[in-house]
């Protein structure tokens, strides 16, 4: 520390001076700026080029304020997507055989796509991945390493550790489907957590608790909003019923399996011969009758759940029809506003087309065919534009849309108002049937005769529900007839439904009047005891019909709702699309977890100062141990297989690849940030700040972070290189990038087959990767030398 | 020492327990049931149910976990017994979903295919990088040092798969040399000719695969050597009048060769993860490729077993290298 004689200079300026003296690093920095420019411009200037009809459609959409998904980029200078089979395998610098005036500066690939365009488009993806993956890993690394380094020596109190462990156990319990235990434990851990939050409050640390409450409210609000949208829209409502069908069917399967195993045991012991020589059912243990009855009851219950689901589907269609009508009318009003605009454009195009036709005939009169054809094309374009913006056609469109909308709305309205009472009745009947099923299943005792009574009751419920169903069907038919236009009304009849209702009522009456002995053979199927094989067969049928179908249904319908175009136009659906995204969930979860950790830490700090609570805070494991053991575990798992296993779960998408690379590469940063902070916190200036009573937060932000940032920068720079390499390796192995995303690794891997015929397909992306990785490595080395002059010359 | 090893082993056990849970959950809870992949669509519903029962399709996750690791350790002990000559007949419990082979014996077989590749690669890395790194450190800032540094930078930046693709294409097309697969296909060779053939087929991929590793280690050794040469005791040795060779090779080299020992930790797990790309390029039916394919056919048993064994090997490698480091470097104390 010899100061005084030397002129003091700022360390940053020193570092910059050293950095600029290092020529390779400066060149690398310039290269990186060029690459970044390439990446940013790539997203604007590459894409599918629009053709003339696309342009007209874009113009119309722009005028009307619609969103169109043509998959084209109107500003595209280069097209990496369109294939051109006449231009396959053109070496770099050659001209297109198809389009005159087009040069493939870097050649074309096996589908005739421009390599330069693909490289340009790929740079956006490859570099974004590099930066974002490193961003994730650096963020995780700094925060975990910082915690381990700065708070490492303090020991975690027992309540904090218990809360953390409980939270993990809750997760495992729910994953293992121990729901009751999971809920109990989560209540326990929530209680513990709230207790600590209160301790933090008594210590005067209200800021973090408030932040935590806000984050919590946001998260819960998001979840509530999502489920609200899902259950309050006609599209979303049936989902819950599908899920209920799936759950009940799954329960039934488990029951069938366990029961089947018991029956099998019985059969193995030779006691399950169902019928003796005379054809009479032999004596069977009580549980077998009971189990069989339960299964019959549950099977019927599932059937009625399916009916309920179908009802909701049917009702949804009516609701959607009504809304569609309203939307169509709105659309008609919206379209009608643009009539003048359409007229102007149409007339302008017409005059243009006439002029062009004139020129065309002049040109063909002169005998210049080529020119005439050009004019004819232009004129055709102008005519197409004139036709698109034809005000008369628009008028017709408006009228037909409005008429259709009115009809739909009226029909939907009529049906819905006619059905509002029947559906309530039907729903109530179905729900009552469900309740009675449950009761019947619980009441059964295992005595064959009592089982008989249960079955009889079951049949009664079914018949009642059948009447409700027939009533509902009749009501629907009548409502539909009422909603029809007059012309069709005469032809429509509801006799079939009326007949069905009469039959159902009659059947119920005969069943109610009949004596039990009469019923036994005709109306109620006697309970047959199924063998274990038959039980397995039944299980297969249930799974095929119910579990698979309704499980898939819930999944696809949720995604259908998520991406439904019908939902355009209302603000809350736009919000729904954002909040339903898995990234939104991920971000909120990470936020919640980190804020919760802060609250726990504050609670502990508050408790240590407070003599009332301090005796509960038994020190357990040190923070350093906790974080570093976790880091070690993550380091232990072979990264490449971890990445592969995670990627195999999701659909191919580079942004998921990016997240996975980021989440599996933070361990190194954590370790050295920890080491850095550990050595920094012993330095005099930190001790001085502590002695002054500066808060931990301020010490971290004003003293530790600026000093520890340079090695982080270095490692981030080298990390970007690593992430670009990792992405290209994954794309090379055929994972990572989706089918319509072109990344450098993917271009290389596609060119691999043609390495002998078209070597540029592998050389060009390879060199691009090489330059990028080299630049980032050199920049990292340059930064390291600049910030740490001791290392120069290595 | 003994108590240290015991403590480390206990810690390892705890870590492995957590790893076993993590790796199993990652694979078993992924959407699209991994058990579903092994069901033959042609079979009847009842047959499918029986097959599902056989793998515990409807079991809760905890039970699946316990069943899996029960079978796993049962098979593992049999594999270890066989490796040490205990040739009892064992009924393999863990069979792969797609090929219906016992998982662990297949893994052992595949490991034996990969082993020569990994060993030779490591050998080449070490024999290249140590002399070059030390040379480059001793002739610091000379022309040779600069050339080596530039080459090392370039090699690190090369995507490994790309350079091997180019070399393979060059060797097979221009020089007409067979380099793909562990031995020349379609030819029956015997005795020394087989040996040379096998050696050639191991050497080419190993040399290509070692380029990146050699470049990294060269820079590391150089950095280490430079740091040692800055130390006071080297200056003292020089001041004492010792000749340069004694100073460099006796006093500086020993601490500078410590990365040699730490690298050992990476050797065992690189059997698993290190060779996926090279096995894909050189068509080696090795471990990396096997697991890579298993991941995509959702073969739960293979993926989880290799995640677990890979982690265990990493931990064992770290333990061994720590112990060796304490033997090689008296300054390092085990605690």
DSSP A697-752: HHIIIIIIHHHHHHHHHHHHHHHHHHHHHHHHHHHHTT-SS-TT---HHHHHHHHG
Which A positions 262-281 lie with beta carbon below 8 A of chain B? none
Per-residue confidence (pLDDT) for residue A320, from 0 to 100: 79
DSSP bridge pairs for A622: A155
Segments of chain B scoring below 70 in pLDDT:
29-41, 87, 184-187, 189, 273-274, 332-335
Which A positions 719-748 lie with beta carbon below 8 A of chain B? 721, 725, 728-729, 732-733, 745, 748
pLDDT tier at A793, thresholds 50, 70, 90: very low
Per-residue confidence (pLDDT) for residue A219, from 0 to 100: 92
Residue A23: other Cβ atoms inside 10 A:
10
Which of B253, B295, B251, B255 lies closest to B272 in space, CA to CA? Answer: B295
Query: Which of A50-54, A785-789, B122-126 is predicted with the least confidence, judged by mean pLDDT?
Result: A785-789
Alpha carbon of residue B210 to chain centroid: 13
Per-residue confidence (pLDDT) for residue A296, from 0 to 100: 81
CB-based contact (8 Å) between A755 and chain B?
A: yes
Which of B56, B64, B21 lies closest to B36 in space, CA to CA? Answer: B56
Per-residue confidence (pLDDT) for residue A216, from 0 to 100: 92
Higher pLDDT, A528 or B108: B108
Per-residue confidence (pLDDT) for residue A573, from 0 to 100: 64
* Pick from A176, A639, A642: CB nearest B60: A176
Average pLDDT over residues A75-104: 78
Tens of pLDDT along A126-161? 888 888 888 888 888 888 888 888 887 778 888 888
In this prediction the pTM is 0.79
Kindly provide the ipTM of the predicted complex, given to two decimals: 0.84
Q: Which residues of A310-335 are buried (b: 16+ CB within 10 A; e: fewer)?
A: ebbbebbebbbbbbbbebbbebbeeb
Q: How far apart are CA A664 and CA A638, in angstroms?
A: 10
Give all strands (DSSP E) within A533-588, no chain letters. Answer: none
Tens of pLDDT along A317-336? 888 788 788 888 888 888 88
CA distance A748 to chain B (A): 8
Tens of pLDDT along A545-602? 887 778 777 776 666 665 554 444 555 566 777 777 767 787 888 888 888 888 888 8
Per-residue confidence (pLDDT) for residue A794, from 0 to 100: 42
Tens of pLDDT along A333-368? 888 888 888 888 888 888 888 888 888 888 888 888
pLDDT > 80? residue A512: no
What residues in A contact B222, CB-CB < 8 Å? 794
Chains A–B, number of C-beta pairs less than 8 Å apart = 146
Q: Do A785 and A791 meet the contact criterion of CB atoms below 8 Å apart?
A: yes
Q: Which residues of A31-46 are buried (b: 16+ CB within 10 A; e: fewer)?
A: bbeebeebbeebeebb
CB-based contact (8 Å) between A641 and chain B?
A: yes
Tens of pLDDT along A421-463? 888 888 888 888 888 877 776 765 556 666 667 777 777 888 8
Per-residue confidence (pLDDT) for residue B56, from 0 to 100: 76
Query: Which of A110-124, A279-293, B166-180 is predicted with the least confidence, judged by mean pLDDT?
Result: A279-293
Tens of pLDDT along A630-669? 888 888 887 777 777 777 767 677 777 788 888 888 888 8
Per-residue confidence (pLDDT) for residue A6, from 0 to 100: 60
CA distance A298 to chain B (A): 18
Per-residue confidence (pLDDT) for residue A1, from 0 to 100: 44
Per-residue confidence (pLDDT) for residue B261, from 0 to 100: 75
pLDDT > 50? residue A2: no
CB-based contact (8 Å) between A697 and chain B?
A: no
What residues in B contact A536, CB-CB < 8 Å? 46, 49-50
Per-residue confidence (pLDDT) for residue A527, from 0 to 100: 64
């Amino acid at each position: 520390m010899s100061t005084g004689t030397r002129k003091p200079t700022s360390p940053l300026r020193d570092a910059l001076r050293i950095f600029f003296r290092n020529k390779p690093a400066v060149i690398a920095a310039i290269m990186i700026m060029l690459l970044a420019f390439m990446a940013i411009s790539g997203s604007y200037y590459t894409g599918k080029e629009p053709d003339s009809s696309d342009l007209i459609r874009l113009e119309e959409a722009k005028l009307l304020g619609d969103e169109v998904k043509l998959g084209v980029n109107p500003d595209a200078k280069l097209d990496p997507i369109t294939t051109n089979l006449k231009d396959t395998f053109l070496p770099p610098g050659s001209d297109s055989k198809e389009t005159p005036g087009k040069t493939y500066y870097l050649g074309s690939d096996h589908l005739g796509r421009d390599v330069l365009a693909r490289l340009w488009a790929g740079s956006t993806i490859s570099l974004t991945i590099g930066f974002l993956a490193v961003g994730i890993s650096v963020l995780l690394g700094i925060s975990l390493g910082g915690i381990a380094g700065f708070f490492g020596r303090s020991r975690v109190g027992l309540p904090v550790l218990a809360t953390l462990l409980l939270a993990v156990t809750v997760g495992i319990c729910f994953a293992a489907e121990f729901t009751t235990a999971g809920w109990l434990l989560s209540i326990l851990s929530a209680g513990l957590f709230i207790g600590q939050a209160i301790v933090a409050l008594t210590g005067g640390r209200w800021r973090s608790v408030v932040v935590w409450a806000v984050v919590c409210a946001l998260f819960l609000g998001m979840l509530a909003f999502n489920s609200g949208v899902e259950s309050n829209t006609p599209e979303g409502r049936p989902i819950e019923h599908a899920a209920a069908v799936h759950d009940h069917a799954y329960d039934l399967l488990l029951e069938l399996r366990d029961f089947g195993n018991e029956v099998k045991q019985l059969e193995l012991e030779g006691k399950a011969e169902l019928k003796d020589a005379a054809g009479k059912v032999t004596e069977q243990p009580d549980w077998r009758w009971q189990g069989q009855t339960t299964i019959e009851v549950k099977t019927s219950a599932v059937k009625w759940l399916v009916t309920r689901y179908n009802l909701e589907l049917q009702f949804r269609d009516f609701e959607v029809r009504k809304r569609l009508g309203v939307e169509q009318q709105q659309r008609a009003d919206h379209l009608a506003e643009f009539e003048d605009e359409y007229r102007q454009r149409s007339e302008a195009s017409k005059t243009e087309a006439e002029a062009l036709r004139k020129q065309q005939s002049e040109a063909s009169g002169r005998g210049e065919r080529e020119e005439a054809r050009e004019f004819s094309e232009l004129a055709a374009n102008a005519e197409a534009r004139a036709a698109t913006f034809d005000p008369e056609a628009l008028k017709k469109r408006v009228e037909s849309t409005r008429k259709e909308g009115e009809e739909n709305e009226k029909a939907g309205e009529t049906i819905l108002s006619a059905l509002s009472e029947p559906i309530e009745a039907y729903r109530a009947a179905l729900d009552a049937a469900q309740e009675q099923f449950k009761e019947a299943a619980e009441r059964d005792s295992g005595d064959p005769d009592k089982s008989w009574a249960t079955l009889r009751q079951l049949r009664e419920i079914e018949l009642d529900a059948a009447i409700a169903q027939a009533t509902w069907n009749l009501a629907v038919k009548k409502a539909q007839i009422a909603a029809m236009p007059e012309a069709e009304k005469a032809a429509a009849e509801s006799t079939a439904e009326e007949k069905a209702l009469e039959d159902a009522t009659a059947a119920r009456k005969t069943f109610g009047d009949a004596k039990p002995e009469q019923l036994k053979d005709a109306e109620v199927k006697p309970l047959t005891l199924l063998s274990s094989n038959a039980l397995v067969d039944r299980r297969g049928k249930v799974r095929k019909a119910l579990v698979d179908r309704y499980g898939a249904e819930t999944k696809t319908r949720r995604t259908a709702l998520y991406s439904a175009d019908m939902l355009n136009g209302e603000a809350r659906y736009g919000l729904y699309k954002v909040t339903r995204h898995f990234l939104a969930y991920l971000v909120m979860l990470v936020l919640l977890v980190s804020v919760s950790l802060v609250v726990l830490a504050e609670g502990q700090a508050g408790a240590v100062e407070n003599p009332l609570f301090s005796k509960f805070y038994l020190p357990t494991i040190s923070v350093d141990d906790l974080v570093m053991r976790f880091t070690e575990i993550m380091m232990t798992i072979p990264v490449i297989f971890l990445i592969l296993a995670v990627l195999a779960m999701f659909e191919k998408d580079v942004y998921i690849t990016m997240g996975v690379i980021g989440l599996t590469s933070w361990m190194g940063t954590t370790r050295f940030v920890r080491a850095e902070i550990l050595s920094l916190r012993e330095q005099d200036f930190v001790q001085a700040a502590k002695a002054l009573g500066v808060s931990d937060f301020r010490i971290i932000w004003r003293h530790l972070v600026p000093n520890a940032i340079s090695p982080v920068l270095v490692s981030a720079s080298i990390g970007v290189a690593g992430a670009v390499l990792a992405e290209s390796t994954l794309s090379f192995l055929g994972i990572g990038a989706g089918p319509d995303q072109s990344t450098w690794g993917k271009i290389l891997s596609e060119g691999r087959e043609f390495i002998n015929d078209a070597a540029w397909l592998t050389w060009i992306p390879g060199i691009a990767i090489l330059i990028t990785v080299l630049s980032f490595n050199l920049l990292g080395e340059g930064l390291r030398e600049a910030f740490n002059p001791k290392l120069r010359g290595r | 020492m003994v108590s240290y090893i015991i403590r480390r082993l206990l810690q390892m056990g705890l870590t492995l327990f957590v790893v076993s849970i993590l790796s199993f959950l990652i694979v078993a809870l992924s959407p699209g049931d991994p058990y579903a992949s092994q069901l033959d669509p042609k079979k009847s519903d009842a047959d499918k149910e029986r097959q599902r029962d056989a793998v515990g399709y409807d079991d809760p996750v905890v039970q699946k976990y316990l069943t899996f690791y029960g079978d796993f350790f049962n098979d593992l002990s049999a594999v270890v017994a066989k490796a040490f000559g205990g040739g009892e007949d064992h009924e393999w419990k863990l069979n792969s979903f797609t090929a219906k082979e016992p998982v662990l014996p297949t893994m052992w077989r595949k490991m034996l295919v990969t082993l020569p590749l990994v060993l030779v690669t490591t050998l080449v890395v070490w024999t290249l990088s140590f002399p070059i790194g030390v040379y480059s450190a001793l002739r610091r800032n000379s022309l040779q040092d600069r050339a080596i540094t530039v080459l090392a930078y370039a090699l690190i930046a090369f995507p490994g798969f790309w350079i091997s693709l180019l070399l393979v294409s060059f060797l097979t097309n221009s020089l007409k040399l067979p380099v793909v697969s562990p031995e020349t296909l379609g030819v029956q060779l015997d005795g020394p000719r087989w040996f040379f053939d096998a050696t050639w087929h191991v050497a080419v991929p190993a040399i290509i695969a070692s380029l990146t590793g050699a470049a990294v280690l060269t820079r590391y050794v150089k950095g280490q050597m430079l740091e040692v040469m800055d130390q006071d005791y080297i200056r003292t040795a020089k001041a004492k009048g010792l000749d340069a060779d004694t100073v460099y090779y006796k006093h500086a080299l020993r601490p500078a060769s410590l990365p040699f020992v730490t690298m050992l930790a990476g050797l065992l797990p690189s059997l698993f993860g290190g060779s996926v790309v090279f096995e894909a390029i050189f068509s080696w039916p090795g471990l990396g490729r096997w697991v890579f394919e298993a991941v995509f056919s959702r073969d739960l048993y293979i993926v989880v077993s290799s995640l677990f064994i890979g982690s265990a090997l990493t931990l064992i490698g770290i333990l061994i290298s720590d112990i060796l480091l304490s033997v090689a470097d008296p300054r390092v104390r085990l605690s």
